[in-house]
Amino acid sequence: MDMPVPDPDILARKAAIVARLLAVLPEDAVIHAEEEVRAYECDALTAYRCPPLAAVLPRTTGEVAAVLRVCHEEGVPVVPRGSGTSLAGGVLPTADSVILGVARMNEVLEVDYTDRFIRVQTGRTNLSVTGAVEGDGFFYAPDPSSQLACAIAGNIAMNSGGAHCLKYGVTTNNLMGVTMVLMDGTVTEIGGAWMDAPGLDLLGVICGSEGQLGVVTEATLRLMPLPEGARPVLIGFSSNEVAGECVSDIIRAGLLPVAIEFMDRPCIEATEAFAGAGYPDCEALLIIEVEGSEAEIDDQIARIREIALRHDPVELRESRSEDESRRIWLGRKSAFGAMGQLGDYMCLDGTIPVSSLPYVLRRIGEMSGEFGLAVANVFHAGDGNMHPLILFDANKPGDLELCEAFGAEILKLCVEVGGCLTGEHGVGVEKRDLMTVQFAPADLEAQMRVKDVFDPRWLLNPGKVFPLGAVAGRRAA
Amino acid sequence: MRPETEAELAEAVAGANGPLALRGGGTRAPGPRGGAVLDLAGLSGVELYEPGALTVVTRAGTPLAEVETTLAAEGQRLPFEPADLRGLLGREGVSTIGGVVAANDSGPRRVRAGACRDSLIGVRFVDGTGAVVKNGGRVMKNVTGYDLVKLIAGSHGTLGVLTEVAFKVLPVPEATATLAIPDLDDAGAVAAMARALGSPFEVTGAAHWPGRGTFLRLEGFADSVAYRAGRLRALLGGETGPAAEDAALWRAVRDVAPFHGQPGDVWRLSLRPSAAPGVVARAGAEGVLYDWGGGRVWLLTEPGTDLRARLGAFPGHATLVRAAPETLARLPAFQPEPARLAAIAAGLRARFDPRGVLNPGLMG
């Protein structure tokens, strides 16, 4: 993975830079020993690793500001890090950069059920935000699968989604305000306990900016009331096309499920072998979850049943108990683990218009034969977000590159049918060099202008999002 | 100038040798702008509509009414309930969908369904240099690069001229009900609305109209609406009015009907709901309308009132929506921001519109 060339001057001055960091932080907040910085050499995209110059773990916004001031003065790049769960290499350092981890900033600062928001330090894990309020009947809606580990800081950087996002939106639709420290150490407050921006929607462009505009240390998040209940239904189909048509009919009928998950035959089979959830033998299945009171759930499921029956399902399984609901979800939730049992895999997250699913799956199947790599598909059918899981063997020379090449072709196909490269994971380094497939030069230029304003010296999170060639000339060499 | 295509629009902007006044229908912008009028209604037409995918893509100059009719024919609608502000602002003209996006206009349902910018999934625009830029697309889940879709929404043309917009739409529900609770004072009304919005009953409108009542809207399948209305009534009291009157009531809230034909300036506040009654008490206004559970407050004031000076700091911000030209020349329409944020906004405008031709001075 090409990254910006580390500045030899910074490398030569490592001791002095570390000393300046130690002057503004407690000693235990600065990690600089060679064997210790290695822990920060990668995120969940483990194929690419590079130990940083140092890593810091501040405990306050003031400490974050002090670190950034030092790094700004020294011209040292800074890589902000939440929990390091990025699948796109969003936290991959260069040898001359300092990892700024907010994991020690994980407090709840304010909870307000009347005005329905929670204010947290952004190092807090996603699940523990809901954990702080669900006893009182509320939750924080964006729920990425990694929510046990991922941090709000990362959620904001990547504009994370999750199973609930079909109904409740993604992070940017639930983010009300931030405290953000700019690269020169200035602390800014944007938004708050009110709705909408007073002028330009800076919050809207900060969310999803992959740690390149500032370091977000605190966030005001929208709280939603917990529904009275939820229940899934599982439907098996004889073809991908029919499954897709059923989804379309459900949406046309005015139903708004919380989640609509699709799995194809390879995924179903791998999952059955692994988790034994008792999924039907079929080409495709849907798991649809609806919310409300018991009566409202019954009514929605009855409507879904009536629509599904028009599509001659192989099986239609409703849940009559908590345990049955759990079993319906078991396979889907084990899918990635099941693929991991078969071998190494790469998980993509291109998005497509939902009507393109049958065509895209057919093409992926053809490419699978051409590349000689097996692939299984999980798909958020309500919003078009695909998760092709490509199996490869990391120990086989050339297999990673082959897998990446196959993945790139799938993502190009997503763009070709009117979708995009990434629906959830972000660009990071993983899709950086495909950005020109989706964007014309003027489109990338417009995005880069935003960074020019927030971080004129291009010190924050280098080597991400924009192809290196497009960036050349903006960052001092 | 009235371009008929994106390319013509790009040429018009590139060739501008002075300020341009961007005009969709002229129904929403705060005040009259100087400069050569760039009429955007020529870029009209729905380009793609997939009801089964809840996706519509339309040229930005398409009349809002045409977009709404197109969606209604398939039993769908824009979730964020954009207003018709002509009655409030004393305007005539045909509102365009681009104008709605440029203003991020969002009505009562914003409290549940999100603002215009939350339904917006893609844009094409011409920046101040005449370059055509696209961001987002036609899919809901899209984190590819920076989110300029959100940045462009509500930028009132100052970063670029919209040529195409794409939305995620939602179905029109089968039924509605509105619970009306009488005789609550402002603080009691905001408290009641907070309880409703914090309940699991999916309230999609929460407004307090002093002198007329406190209103909570429910939408969905008929049985579900009846059930939820019953649960809310048990919680808060009040009565559900005839469903046939719901649409007119919420249109009146959406369009700020109480202020139509009333002299005075109109301010729109966005604030922490529980702070709203106290802020209103300090405002000395002649008319008040609460929406978004108290998160939005419309105020009618004496002409020329500097409401921000009168209120001092409060958790939120105030936009001057209607006032005489001399007042708009004296008081900024948009809430002045702290220096560093104002500098960032100015920096963005300077980069997207280096010559300062796109509605210069409108936002700062």
Q: B175-254 — its CATH code? A: 3.30.70.2860
Question: What are the tens digits of pLDDT across the range A167-191?
Answer: 999 999 999 999 999 999 999 999 9
For domain B6-171, give its CATH number from 3.30.465.10, 3.40.190.10, 3.40.50.460, 3.40.50.1220: 3.30.465.10
Give a yes or no: residue A16 inside a domain.
yes
Q: How many CB atoms lie within 10 A of CB A294?
A: 10
| A421: chain B residues, CB-CB within 8 Å | 144
B157–A contact, CB cutoff 8 A:
no
Question: What are the tens digits of pLDDT across the range A286-344?
Answer: 999 999 999 999 999 999 999 999 999 999 999 999 999 999 998 888 888 888 888 89
Rounded to a whole number of angstroms, the distance from the CA of B353 to the nearest CA of chain A is 11
Give a yes or no: residue A249 inside a domain.
yes
Q: How far apart are CA A241 and CA A264, in angstroms?
A: 11
Q: Which residues of chain B have pLDDT under 70?
A: none
Q: Cα(first)–Cα(last) distance of chain A, in Å?
A: 18
Q: A135: domain CATH number?
A: 3.30.465.10
Main-chain phi, psi angles of B293, to 5 degrees = 65, 15
* Residue A279 shares a structural domain with residue A211: no
- Which residues lie closer than 8 Å to A73 by C-beta, 6 or more apart? none
Give a yes or no: residue A36 inside a domain.
yes
- Check if B175-254 and B257-330 are the same fold: yes
| Domain-wise residue ranges, chain B | 6-171, 175-254, 257-330
> Which of A208, A226, A248 faces B200 most closely, judged by CB atoms?
A226
B47–A contact, CB cutoff 8 A:
no
- Flag if B138 and A418 touch (Cβ within 8 Å): yes
Q: A71: domain CATH number?
A: 3.30.43.10
From A178, A204, A225, give the residue that closes a domain: A225
Give a yes or no: residue A284 inside a domain.
yes
| A299: chain B residues, CB-CB within 8 Å | 221, 223-224
Give the ipTM: 0.97
Q: Which pLDDT belongs to residue A163?
A: 84
- Which residues lie closer than 8 Å to B18 by C-beta, 6 or more apart? B35, B36, B357
pLDDT at A29 over 70: yes
Query: Averaged over A378-383, what is the pLDDT?
Result: 90
B141–A contact, CB cutoff 8 A:
yes
A138–B contact, CB cutoff 8 A:
yes
Give a yes or no: residue A439 inside a domain.
no
Domain that holds residue A323: 228-333
A476–B contact, CB cutoff 8 A:
no
- Flag if A248 and B53 touch (Cβ within 8 Å): yes
- Which pairing describes strands A98-101 and A78-81: parallel, antiparallel, or unpaired? parallel
* Residue A39 shares a structural domain with residue A80: yes
Q: How far apart are CA A426 and CA A88, in angstroms?
A: 6
Question: From edge to edge, which strands make up the β-sheet containing A175-181?
Answer: A108-112, A117-121, A215-222, A175-181, A187-191
Give a yes or no: residue A349 inside a domain.
yes
Average of per-residue pLDDT values in chain A: 95
Percent of chain A whose pLDDT exceeds 90? 90
Q: How far apart are CA B330 and CA B202, in angstroms?
A: 42
Query: What is the domain count for chain A?
Result: 4
Rounded to a whole number of angstroms, the distance from the CA of A278 to the nearest CA of chain B is 30
Give a yes or no: residue A29 inside a domain.
yes
Contact present, A201 and A244 (Cβ < 8 Å) = no
Q: Which pLDDT belongs to residue A477?
A: 43
Q: Which pLDDT belongs to residue B92?
A: 92
Is 0.90 surpassed by the pTM of this model? yes
* Residue A23 shares a structural domain with residue A122: no
Q: Which pLDDT belongs to residue A476?
A: 53
Q: Which pLDDT belongs to residue A247?
A: 93
Q: How far apart are CA A91 and CA A44, in angstroms?
A: 9
Give a yes or no: residue A184 inside a domain.
yes
Question: What are the tens digits of pLDDT across the range A451-461?
Answer: 999 999 999 99
Q: How far apart are CA B34 and CA B20, in angstroms?
A: 8
DSSP letter string, B299-340: EEE-TT--HHHHH-S-SEEEEEEE--HHHHHHS-SSPP--HH
In chain B, residues 75-134 whose CB comes closer than 8 Å to chain A: 75, 104, 106, 110, 114-115, 117-118, 127, 131-134
Main-chain phi, psi angles of B287, to 5 degrees = -155, 145
Looking at domain B257-330, its CATH class is alpha beta
pLDDT at A106 over 70: yes
Question: From edge to edge, which strands make up the β-sheet containing A78-81?
Answer: A30-31, A54-56, A98-101, A78-81
* Residue A213 shares a structural domain with residue A120: yes
* Residue in A335, A328, A317 with CA at minimum distance from that of residue A263: A335
Question: What are the tens digits of pLDDT across the range A211-231?
Answer: 999 999 999 999 999 999 999
Burial class (CB in 10 A: 0-12, 13-18, 19+), A194: buried
DSSP letter string, A156-203: HHHT---TTHHHH--GGGTEEEEEEE-TTS-EEEEE-SSSS-SSS-HH
Q: Which pLDDT belongs to residue A410?
A: 97
* Residue in A174, A258, A166, A171 with CA at minimum distance from that of residue A208: A171
| B296: chain A residues, CB-CB within 8 Å | 195
* Residue A398 shares a structural domain with residue A417: yes
B5–A contact, CB cutoff 8 A:
no
Q: Could you tell me if residue A395 is left (phi over 0), alpha (psi between -120 and 50 degrees) or otherwise beta?
A: alpha
Q: Which pLDDT belongs to residue A475?
A: 66
Residue listed under structure tokens 């609770």: B181
- Flag if B52 and A354 touch (Cβ within 8 Å): yes
* Residue A219 shares a structural domain with residue A232: no
